[in-house]
Amino acid sequence: MFENPTIAVIGLGYVGLPLAVALARHFDVMGFDIDKKRIEELRDHHDRTGELTRGELADSTLQYVVDDSFLEEAHIHIITVPTPVGADNKPDLRAVESASRTVGRRIRMGSVVVFESTVYPGVTEEVCGPILEQESDLVAGRDFFLGYSPERINPGDKVHTVDQITKVVAGQTEKVANLLAKVYGTMNNGNIYIAKDIRTAEASKVIENAQRDINIAFVNEITDIFGKMGLSVHDVLEAAGTKWNFLPFTPGLVGGHCIGVDPYYLAHAAQRLNIEPRVILAGRAINDGMAHKIADRIHAELKPESNVLVLGVAFKENVPDIRNSKVVDMVRRLQEHGHDVDVYDPMADVEETRREYGIGLIAEPAGGYDAVVGAVGHSSFLSLSLRRLVKPGGLVADVKAIWRSRGVPSELRYWTL
Ligand SMILES: NC(=O)c1ccc[n+]([C@@H]2O[C@H](COP(=O)([O-])OP(=O)(O)OC[C@H]3O[C@@H](n4cnc5c(N)ncnc54)[C@H](O)[C@@H]3O)[C@@H](O)[C@H]2O)c1
């Protein structure tokens, strides 16, 4: 189709930016985002998501654009915008719809529009395709073509980067699928799986995260069961993990905007077919209930009105991403129990945390707390002195079990799930 296509990536967040930079090593690539501040920062070689370094941005030929008329120059448009859920846990497709309107106005005969956002099967062809047709006055599958390539990267993971993992691609026609295999394959040494069709590729992504969610829910459930039996779930998991096919999941909070969100997309798709997704929603309910459960367990170990330091507000270790962080629910629950809670997270953005959650992060923990709660396993927390942070007789509540094998000073009490 195209020998040397110009590519536009729409939405330069956790997914779009690393992808655009990886593709720009081989193609002419422009990156477009509606967040002008983000574009300014990127032009100054600053990636607030921490995925790429200054050097990587400075070395890249990626062109940043805020004016969508430049998108007309691209042959392939790749849309990587958010797909969250609303307050009712139903898919919120406004960003993919809006990006489809923007791109629809800029495509021409022969264009290829690929979606990477996580969706339920059918969104690319039944929701976005018609918007692109309407805006462009072109016909999908005849004048321009749709594609889908789910994104699998894992924020903060420097091993499974976009150029090192198998990329699933699908196209509206075989020719488009082959084009996408070639384009993406250029970036990742041909490590491509061509899915049967777009809906299959959409379905494959959404079950990857739903499967993780259900597995974590199972471990969270057995944590409760074994806790009541006086057994440590970690000891049990360690023993069971010696079997070759035992899956290594650990208990805890499930936040962020992938594992805690994508299962709702699948559940919504099921409900539209009058299928009640019992396992999927049970998993969600168990995992969503963990923040209160953990807070209640910690509260039971504390004297009234304790001073508590919570370490971490990001949704997972070693990332600044605070979206849909369940630590926030845990903090609020501890406050409802009457405790005075400080939250420390050197990776999270202070302003964003205040704006999103009304939590003012402290700059440096003073010390002398009644309890410290290790809520997120940022590597930097391991160098903190628990002896300085917690009063003798105080509690170390180790939600992520980061001190479990390292041990805590003998004058402190230790609790983990
Ligand atoms: N973060 C992950 O690790 C990850 C992994 C796999 C899949 N995904 C999926 O990838 C998609 C993107 O996620 P993300 O984490 O990169 O989101 P993000 O919030 O980090 O980035 C999205 C970017 O899109 C921009 N944007 C929003 N609406 C736009 C529009 N109409 N036009 C242009 N730009 C727009 C935002 O300003 C933002 O910079 C989601 O569907 C997500 O589920 C994310």
Please state the rounded mean pLDDT for residues 119-135.
98
CATH number, domain with residue 321: 3.40.50.720
pLDDT at residue 65 in the model: 96
* Ligand 1 atom nearest 99 alpha carbon: 31
**Residue 185 pLDDT greater than 80, yes or no:** yes
Domain membership flag for residue 57:
yes
Please state the rounded mean pLDDT for residues 334-352.
97
Does one domain contain both 302 and 416? yes
Domain membership flag for residue 216:
no
**Residue 1 pLDDT greater than 80, yes or no:** no
Does one domain contain both 134 and 18? yes
- Quote the mean pLDDT of the chain: 96
Considering 152, 173, 198, which residue would you say is the last residue of a domain? 198
Does one domain contain both 32 and 178? yes
Does one domain contain both 294 and 192? no
pLDDT at residue 2 in the model: 78
Domain membership flag for residue 285:
no
Count of residues making up the chain: 417
Q: Which domain holds residue 175?
A: 6-198
Considering 198, 227, 246, which residue would you say is the last residue of a domain? 198
Sheet containing 340-344: order of strands: 340-344, 307-311, 369-374, 390-398, 413-416
**Residue 156 pLDDT greater than 90, yes or no:** no
Report the candidate in 2, 3, 4, 35 with the shortest Cα–Cα distance to residue 16.
Answer: 35
Domain membership flag for residue 394:
yes
Does one domain contain both 194 and 294? no
* Ligand 1 atom nearest 154 alpha carbon: 3
- If one residue of 21, 79, 81 were mutated to test the ligand 1 pocket, choosing by the most ligand atoms within 8 A of its CB, it would be 81
**Residues labelled as active-site residues:** 258
Domain membership flag for residue 215:
no
Does one domain contain both 294 and 191? no
Does one domain contain both 24 and 150? yes
- If one residue of 15, 123, 162, 323 were mutated to test the ligand 1 pocket, choosing by the most ligand atoms within 8 A of its CB, it would be 15
Are 251 and 291 in contact, with CB atoms under 8 Å apart?
no
pLDDT tier at 111 (50, 70, 90 boundaries)?
Answer: very high
Does one domain contain both 168 and 297? no
Domain membership flag for residue 362:
yes
Does one domain contain both 187 and 333? no
Domain membership flag for residue 214:
no
Q: Which amino acids bring their CB within 6 angstroms of ligand 1?
A: 10-16, 32-35, 38, 80-83, 95, 98-99, 102, 116-118, 151, 153-155, 257-258
Total of domains in the chain: 2
Q: Compute the distance between CA of residue 315 and CA of residue 12 in angstroms, rounded to an integer.
A: 20
pLDDT at residue 210 in the model: 97
Does one domain contain both 56 and 187? yes
pLDDT at residue 296 in the model: 97
pLDDT at residue 157 in the model: 87
Pairing of the two strands 413-416 and 307-311: unpaired
CB atoms within 10 A of CB 160: 11
Considering 166, 198, 230, which residue would you say is the last residue of a domain? 198
Please state the rounded mean pLDDT for residues 193-215.
98
Does one domain contain both 193 and 312? no
pLDDT tier at 155 (50, 70, 90 boundaries)?
Answer: confident
